[in-house]
Amino acid sequence: MTLGFDYIGDALAVDGVSLADLAGEYGTPLYVYSAEVMRHNYRRIERAFAGADVMIAYSVKSNSNLAVLKVLKDLGAGFDIVSGGELIRTQRVGIPGERVIFAGVGKTEKEISDALDAGVSEFNVESEAEAERINAVAAARGERAPVAIRINPNIDAKTHKYITTGKRENKFGISMGRALELAGRTRTDLPNLDLIGIHCHIGSQILDSSIHPRVVEAVVDFARKVMDKTGQPLKTLNFGGGFGIAYEKGQTPLDLQPFADALLPRLAELKVKLLLEPGRSIAGPAGVLLTRVEYIKKGEERTFAIVDAAMTELLRPTLYEAHHEILPVHRNDRETGRMDVVGPVCETGDFLALDREGAIPHQGDLLAVMDAGAYGFVMSSTYNARPRPAEILIDGGKALLARRRETHEDLLRAEDEVFAAN
Ligand SMILES: *Cc1c(COP(=O)(O)O)cnc(C)c1O
């Protein structure tokens, strides 16, 4: 079983708390996260890079619930954000700017000046145009902005095409040749940029442990060229996140050891601080989506379990053809067979699992969609006028309501305010 999740008797529990009890109290669909599993996952990364001067900057976009951010804050984590909205979330839980890194390809002027107000530790710059904009905003304020250039090393992360970011054809980062030119410009026509580092994140859900050592070679080699060109030392090397987790039986999470072995000696040579931006590997295995079976429908070809969660709660199966294990909350000896687990949303693409072998549930049964702690709730939508589910954080054997279930009033508010006046 996944760490933190196990059957007590026949009842699936998280850190000893019964999932059926939580569904009874808070309703379904329901997200449930284990703080302890997040801590464990964070410490695994910390241990792998022990001996380096490192900041593990949790990727806020993977799960941005305030209670989750607080757990990471208390561990001493840094935070990687990709929008002004995520900056506000870090501020809500009292995370200081020096523990925040600002990434993303489309930073607006307002986001840049808000991030300067907050004193973020680094802007990851993704294009020449963005470098020029950050330079202009900083100049208008009479400041210098700390920046790292995000390079695109053209290394294939061998993951799903929608979560590959380090290939030439992706929108992320700058090719090495142009990045070197841009680094030079920080000494001439971009004087309000303080070039402090190099950033590289080539994709998500990477499971092949030979990839990161290649990225290390590319980034270290490039960092040396930049220092030669500018005559200035760099302070940070940022390798992003992307550490893969085991979604399917038989998979193992990314082994970080080859990465650490390749990297640690180089960090010492270059005298730079290491930055990492893991999201999925911390939050993913720590969460489940609980859902109840509304109907069993026997089709001509296959059986459909129609559940009360949908692509609106968990988009990953639809968007990435992603696999999530689905477990019965009450272990049972129901007849097995092949089924599609689908939601009520009016889209053929609305499914949580296709052609899955397992115990065919009965109407009213609870199912747990595993490894849903990252890129789950944060990608939820209200399509079909569906209020978003509640989120629960389990910590120290206690359940904390981390977000209440949305109501129809919540969904209608922005329209109600103007509708009556029209
Ligand atoms: C999404 C993202 C991450 C986190 O990726 P995971 O696969 O969740 O670890 C880190 N850095 C950047 C720049 C990202 O866009």
pLDDT tens figures, 113-135: 999 999 999 999 999 999 999 99
pLDDT at 395 over 90: yes
CA dist 349 to 292, 318, 344, 404, 415, Å? 19, 6, 11, 27, 28
Residue 205 CA, closest ligand 1 atom number: 7
Catalytic residue among 9, 142, 188, 346: 346
pLDDT for res 403? 98
Question: Are 215 and 292 spatial neighbours (Cβ–Cβ below 8 Å)?
Answer: no
Q: How far is the CA of 327 from the centre of ligand 1 (A)?
A: 28
| Mean pLDDT value across the chain | 96
**Mean per-residue pLDDT, 354-380:** 97
Determine the Cα–Cα distance for residues 59 and 295; give it in Å rounded to an integer: 37
pLDDT for res 96? 98
- How many residues can be counted in the chain? 422
153-157, 211-215, 256-260 — which is least confidently predicted?
A: 153-157
Q: How far is the CA of 62 from the centre of ligand 1 (A)?
A: 8
pLDDT for res 55? 98
pLDDT at 300 over 90: no
Confidence band for 163, pLDDT divided at 50, 70 and 90: low
Q: DSSP H helical segments within 237-359, as ranges?
A: 257-270, 280-283, 316-320
Q: How far is the CA of 103 from the centre of ligand 1 (A)?
A: 9
Residue 244 CA, closest ligand 1 atom number: 7
For residue 346, indicate whether it is catalytic: yes
DSSP, res 286 = G
Q: How far is the CA of 279 from the centre of ligand 1 (A)?
A: 6
CA 240 and chain centroid, separation: 11
Confidence band for 422, pLDDT divided at 50, 70 and 90: confident
Determine the Cα–Cα distance for residues 371 and 343; give it in Å rounded to an integer: 18
pLDDT at 17 over 70: yes
pLDDT for res 371? 98
Cα Rg of the chain, angstroms: 23
Q: Given the structure tokens 């792998």, which residue do they identify?
A: 48
Pocket test for ligand 1, best of 80, 164, 215 (most atoms within 8 A of CB): 80
Which of 291-328 are b and which e, b meaning 16 or more Cβ less than 10 Å from the residue's Cβ? bbbeebeeeeeeebbbbbbbbbbbbbbbebebbbbbbb
Q: Whose CA is nearest to atom 12 of ligand 1?
A: 240
Pocket of ligand 1 (CB under 6 A): 59, 61-62, 80, 82, 103, 201, 204, 240-243, 277-281, 374
Q: Return all residues near 279 (Cβ < 8 A) that are at least 6 apart.
A: 58, 59, 60, 61, 62, 63, 80, 204, 241, 374, 375
Residue 375 CA, closest ligand 1 atom number: 8
pLDDT at 297 over 80: yes
**Mean per-residue pLDDT, 344-365:** 96
Question: Are 158 and 166 spatial neighbours (Cβ–Cβ below 8 Å)?
Answer: no
Which helix or strand (DSSP H or E) is residue 336 part of? Answer: strand 336-342
| DSSP three-state, residue 103 | coil
| DSSP three-state, residue 11 | strand
Pocket test for ligand 1, best of 55, 62, 212, 316 (most atoms within 8 A of CB): 62
Please report, to the nearest 10 degrees, the dihedral formed by the alpha carbons of residues 307, 393, 100, 57 taken in order.
-80
- Tokens representing 73? 């804050």
Which of 85-103 are b and which e, b meaning 16 or more Cβ less than 10 Å from the residue's Cβ? ebbebbeebebebebbbbb
pLDDT at 304 over 90: yes
pLDDT at 162 over 90: no
Domains of the chain: 5-33+284-414 (2.40.37.10), 104-276 (3.20.20.10)
Q: How far is the CA of 59 from the centre of ligand 1 (A)?
A: 6
